[in-house]
A and B are shown apart, each in its own frame.
Chain A
Amino acid sequence: MTLGSLIDKTIAILRRDLLIAVRYRSGFVITAAGSLAQLAAFYYLARAVGPSFRPDGLDYFPFVLVGTGLFSFLISGMNSFVQIVQEAQQAGTLEILMSTSTPGPVLLFLSALSALTGHTLRLLFYLGAGLFLFGVSARTLNIASCLTILGLSIMSAMSIGIVAAAVQLAIHKGSAVLWLFSSASWLTTGALFPLTALPGPVRAVAQWIPLTHSLQGMRSALLQGARLPSLLPEISVLALFSLVLLPSSLWLFSWTLRRARLQGTLSYY
């Protein structure tokens, strides 16, 4: 496949998703209202906790703002891979889509990329609202560090999402597996509270989840202005996760797709 053809397909998928999103007119409003309600809840939770609680040396509201914002973004990103397969199975488009000239893994990847664009806008809205409406200061923000951490976080989230999509193809329960993963991650990755509050063995498990390093890195870059050299531990771990997980997850998806064609279960859900 040439680069021109890849760009062409990306544009076609982005256009499709934008048109569908626009035609569900109320979707944007509901999402924005949900985000604002969630922010308000965390704001008043932080006030109730009081100023003396400073996880990792930060005020609690900015801590939880970045934690929940990035956590939800990455989990939604992972979920979009499963949703793409699940919706196509239910809508009856999966067999047709997988029989076009575009290879299945490429199609999944591009569709998820399109979904991630939407999630990125939602993350920007969430963080922007937190910064401007609830008065969080981001004067020390380091853009290069933020973008590096975000890029690597997306790569590792994509890998987990592709694995979940493969599970969806194989046993039609990708969303359940992802729900289990995200529930466990709420506890272990430090989205709501610092890792130091957890027992030693759970903290050790947390180090094997990419999200833990994403949240730590993003808080340092966004709220403490950390430069790239000081984020080297998080960057290295996230890069390693991506390097190992991304090719393996693509291989797994191709394998389950072939297996589904062989068993005739491609359209099952």
Chain B
Amino acid sequence: MEGIILESVSKTFRHRPALFNWLGREQRGETRALTSVSLTVSAGTVLVLLGPNGSGKTTLLKLVSTMLLPDHGWISVNGADTRKQAGKVRQNVGFAVVTERSFFPRLTARENLEFFAALDDVARKCRKQQVETILQQVGLSHAADRLVMKFSSGMWQRLGIARALLKNPSVILLDEPTRSLDPGSATQFFDLVRTLAAQGAAVILATHSFQEALAVGDFVAVLDHGRLSAFRSLSALQQEEKLRSFYFESTGDFEESAQLVSREA
């Protein structure tokens, strides 16, 4: 099947203290990042992941991208299992990570993209053109030949989005993609995501912004303490207040939810 399927996916991170732990206070233990999460994102749709900090949004994206492997359950990307066919999955997935520190600071934006395009098997003959087009799409043409160490946060973020789109992936993963973008650039970005989905891409977008969720999403999934606490079509939640209320109910923050209801009344 085209798209992404997660079936009963669980992920736990175990913390092993250092050898001479009596010197410090590091604790042994484990963090259950995801617990039995099942989801489907079909081709041509945008799923928005909402959830408090530490709810497992980034872990979920990393699992789909094969940066992490699941402890239990399985994930399929366009029919390929992320455990057994990781190479095939990577050919189809573009991932814009939340961190800014994922480029070579002493290369220009163009050089960085050309380098990653080569690693991602973008054909040599169309590579330059592809880089040019993507730079234009994310509004970085004017800074294409500037060293990225001189970039602002927003420019790093746009470059991250550009890298994710380089190989024309059929699955796009976006982790807080507009966190450092100005409102104008964010709006342009929403249009870009909708266009990509209309062209058939399956998109998962993790965010804390209700406005962003409503602007780009077809469905919304709420993660709370690693569990999928709610999943709904966004066509039923077309107003920001409704989505906000739905979110706080899903995360069990009833007090916040009640305040919203009284404010609406």
List 12 additional A-B contacts (Cβ < 8 Å) besides A12-B115, A91-B105, A96-B97: A15-B111, A16-B111, A20-B104, A20-B106, A20-B107, A92-B100, A96-B95, A99-B90, A100-B116, A101-B119, A261-B66, A264-B59
CB neighbours of A101 from chain B (8 A): 87, 90-91, 119-121, 167
Instruction: With A99-B90, A101-B87 as known contacts, state yes or no: A262 contacts B107, CB within 8 Å.
Output: no
Asked if B14 is at the interface (CB within 8 A of a chain A CB), the reply is: yes
> What distance in Å separates the Cβ of B75 from its nearest Cβ neighbour in chain A?
13
Asked if A258 is at the interface (CB within 8 A of a chain B CB), the reply is: yes
Instruction: With A12-B118, A95-B67 as known contacts, state yes or no: A264 contacts B102, CB within 8 Å.
Output: no
- Most chain B beta-carbon contacts within 10 A, residue among A15, A16, A19, A107: A16
Of all chain A residues, the one with the shortest Cβ separation from B166 is A100
**A27 to B87 Cα, complex, angstroms:** 37
State the 5 A-B residue pairs at the shortest beta-carbon distance, nearest first: A92-B101, A12-B118, A100-B119, A23-B106, A102-B119
Instruction: With A99-B67, A261-B69 as known contacts, state yes or no: A92 contacts B120, CB within 8 Å.
Output: no
B97 touches A95 (CB 8 A): yes
Instruction: With A95-B67, A99-B95 as known contacts, state yes or no: A9 contacts B106, CB within 8 Å.
Output: no
CB neighbours of A95 from chain B (8 A): 62, 67, 97, 102
**A8 to B107 Cα, complex, angstroms:** 18
A-B contact pairs, 13 of them (CB 8 A): A12-B114, A19-B111, A23-B106, A91-B104, A92-B102, A93-B101, A95-B62, A102-B120, A102-B121, A261-B67, A261-B69, A262-B71, A264-B68
Of all chain A residues, the one with the shortest Cβ separation from B149 is A23
Of all chain B residues, the one with the shortest Cβ separation from A95 is B67
> What distance in Å separates the Cβ of A95 from its nearest Cβ neighbour in chain B?
5
**A97 to B11 Cα, complex, angstroms:** 22
Contact of B69 among A8, A20, A96, A258 (CB under 8 A): A258
CB neighbours of A24 from chain B (8 A): 106
CB neighbours of B163 from chain A (8 A): 96
B103 touches A93 (CB 8 A): yes
**A98 to B97 Cα, complex, angstroms:** 13
Instruction: With A20-B104, A261-B67, A264-B68 as known contacts, state yes or no: A103 contacts B87, CB within 8 Å.
Output: yes
Asked if B78 is at the interface (CB within 8 A of a chain A CB), the reply is: no
Instruction: With A19-B106, A24-B106 as known contacts, state yes or no: A263 contacts B118, CB within 8 Å.
Output: no
**A21 to B108 Cα, complex, angstroms:** 14
**A158 to B99 Cα, complex, angstroms:** 32
A96 touches B102 (CB 8 A): yes
> What distance in Å separates the Cβ of B4 from its nearest Cβ neighbour in chain A?
15
CB neighbours of A107 from chain B (8 A): 119
- Most chain B beta-carbon contacts within 10 A, residue among A5, A95, A98, A266: A95
Residue tally, chain A, CB below 8 Å to B: 31
Asked if B128 is at the interface (CB within 8 A of a chain A CB), the reply is: no
Residues in B64-111 with C-beta less than 8 Å from chain A:
65-69, 71, 87, 90-91, 93, 95, 97, 99-107, 111
A8 touches B124 (CB 8 A): yes
**A97 to B59 Cα, complex, angstroms:** 17
A8 touches B118 (CB 8 A): yes
**A100 to B119 Cα, complex, angstroms:** 6
CB neighbours of B99 from chain A (8 A): 92
Asked if B13 is at the interface (CB within 8 A of a chain A CB), the reply is: yes
Of all chain B residues, the one with the shortest Cβ separation from A266 is B67
**A247 to B72 Cα, complex, angstroms:** 30
A100 touches B124 (CB 8 A): no
Instruction: With A16-B111, A258-B69 as known contacts, state yes or no: A100 contacts B120, CB within 8 Å.
Output: yes
Of all chain A residues, the one with the shortest Cβ separation from B92 is A101
CB neighbours of B93 from chain A (8 A): 99
Residues in B123-179 with C-beta less than 8 Å from chain A:
124, 147, 163, 167
**A11 to B87 Cα, complex, angstroms:** 21
Contact of A98 among B67, B103, B118, B121 (CB under 8 A): B67
Contact of A19 among B59, B90, B100, B107 (CB under 8 A): B107
**A93 to B68 Cα, complex, angstroms:** 15
CB neighbours of A97 from chain B (8 A): 119
